[in-house]
Amino acid sequence: MSSILHVQWTVTPLIAPRPWLTCGRCGGIKPFQSSGKARLNANGKRLDAWLIYKCTDCDASWNRPLFERRNVREIDAGLLQTLQANDRQRIEAIAFDIEGLRRSATRIEEFPEAHVTKRVLAGNPAAFERARIALSVSLPCALRLDRLLAVELGVSRTRIQQLHAAERLRLSPVGARAFRRPVRDGMAVDLDADSTDRLAGLSTGVSVQPG
């Protein structure tokens, strides 16, 4: 029997980044949120595409450019189908593309709220010497790693730092500021069993990280 407990935490952000823009109807700088709908406009064989955002106060629209005057043959077929069908899941992925959003807005608000699902991949949750937590993060997420670990393991962020300093909690990839950075897909955390202090929620359950 393996002495290592392998678990996976799937972290799904709940709120897409919001650009702050001048709202012509409100007359000031306001946050806009994705409507989850795209718009296509054809001019001969060339297409324009936008993701439609709405002012959170008055519902005024802002069209975020996705591409302009692009020959239809140059557009990825999957992307084109997504936009034509307004595929909810793939449109959501575009809304979470903060690097793409930065090309159209200079002020962007990000949110740490996330849904966390945990499952055992291998090993015995009742008897193990070391736990390895693999993070699966399919969309960009603003949740910091230390906050995720503290809330899900039921300890303070100071305790997380203490365990790391004592080399009883190890990160991959390593980095001087890894705890302060947002969680990313492929991160892993190794935790010694004698460090768990009966930590809650290590291997199973579903939770929502608060804002």
Bridge partners of residue 133, in order along the sequence = 7, 189
Average pLDDT, the chain: 89
Considering the entire predicted model, what is its pTM? 0.86
Q: What whole-number percentage of the chain has pLDDT above 90?
A: 63
Binned at pLDDT 50, 70 and 90, residue 2 comes out as low
Residue 171's CB: how many other CB atoms inside 10 A? 15
Residue 172 token pair = 């991959």
- In one-letter notation, the amino acid at residue 88 is R
Q: What is the pLDDT of residue 57?
A: 95
Contact 100, 91 (CB under 8 A): no
Q: What is the pLDDT of residue 14?
A: 95
Answer with the residue of higher pLDDT: 176 or 41: 41
Q: What is the pLDDT of residues 145-189, one digit of tens each?
A: 999 999 998 889 999 999 999 999 999 988 768 899 999 999 999
More confident residue, 125 or 104: 104
- Report how far residue 183's alpha carbon sits from residue 190's, in angstroms, rounded to the nearest whole number: 15
Q: What angle do CA 57, 210, 86 make, to 5 degrees?
A: 55
| Residue 86 burial (CB count, 10 A) | 15
Sheet containing strand 114-122, strands side by side: 169-172, 188-192, 130-136, 4-13, 114-122, 205-209
Within 10 A of 157 (CB to CB), how many other CB atoms are there?
A: 16
What local confidence, expressed as pLDDT, does residue 196 receive?
53
- The predicted structure's pLDDT at residue 1: 44
Task: Quick: pLDDT tens for 11-34.
Answer: 999 999 999 999 999 989 999 999
